[in-house]
Amino acid sequence: DIKGFVFDLDGVITDTSTFHSQAWHQVADKVGVNWDAELADALKGISRMDSLNLILKRDNRENDFSDDEKVQLATEKNDNYLKLVNQMTPANILPGVEDFLIDLSDKGYLLSLASASKNSPLVLKHLGLGHFFSKSVDPATLKKGKPDPEIFRRGAELLDLDPSQCIGVEDAAAGVQAINSAGEVSIGIGDPKVLASADINFVDTTKLNLGNIAKAMG
Ligand code: BG6
Ligand code: MG
């Protein structure tokens, strides 16, 4: 029996995945790395420094920068990102998500957050959704990021549940892989081609509700 939901944040609860992309795109332009939609998808769910390394690797530039310069570039990306985050309001909650969270809490499901982002408390605050996620995995404490299952296992642990009692919700291929390896049921939100390994796929958050999940689980 499903008793809990472990949520990704960026691209699931709110539209920040486009903000992360915009902020990295600026850095890619600055260092002269070609930007495209495929690279943007590959960065979803990936930690800040791993994202930078992936961008540089794209053009075999990962050895062109010192560690200090990399930290500088990552900081610059985060400054770009924070400018966008600081303009966020509850209007940035993706459609249907708040109703879904309310319905889950009303029905007694337990909720936790499994976001790779160190900015997630700030984002939740802007959205006014902090009260739903008193239980969040701190990404700074992880040994490995997504697609490793650690973050989703920890999300279940915070709820005192076995992973098999949890559904994980993700928009990133790396995240769906992490949920599957953790032994949770995976819901992928977005392009079914990108998220082919998800147990359940919804093209967008308007489809994310208990009725559709029950139907999909049969
Ligand atoms: C994930 C995003 O949620 O968090 C990634 O999908 C991002 O794009 C990662 O790189 C880390 O975020 P932050 O805010 O700590 O740089
Ligand atoms: Mg995401």
pLDDT in tens, 32-51: 999 999 999 999 999 999 99
Nearest to 24 by CA among 36, 15, 14: 36
Which pTM value belongs to this model? 0.97
Tens of pLDDT, residues 156-214: 999 999 999 999 999 999 999 999 999 999 999 999 999 999 999 999 999 999 999 99
pLDDT at 28: 97
Name the closest-CA residue to atom 1, ligand 1.
45
Backbone φ and ψ for 71, nearest 5 degrees, come out as -60, -40
Atom of ligand 1 nearest to the CA of 119: 14
Question: From ligand 1's centre to the CA of 119, what distance in Å?
Answer: 8
Q: How far apart are CA 134 and CA 92, in angstroms?
A: 20
Q: How far apart are CA 124 and CA 136, in angstroms?
A: 11
136: which strand partners?
113
Contact 131, 90 (CB under 8 A): no
Name the closest-CA residue to atom 2, ligand 1.
45
Token look-up 């400018």 returns: 83
Question: From ligand 1's centre to the CA of 47, what distance in Å?
Answer: 5
Q: Record the tokens describing residue 176, joined without a space.
A: 């769906």
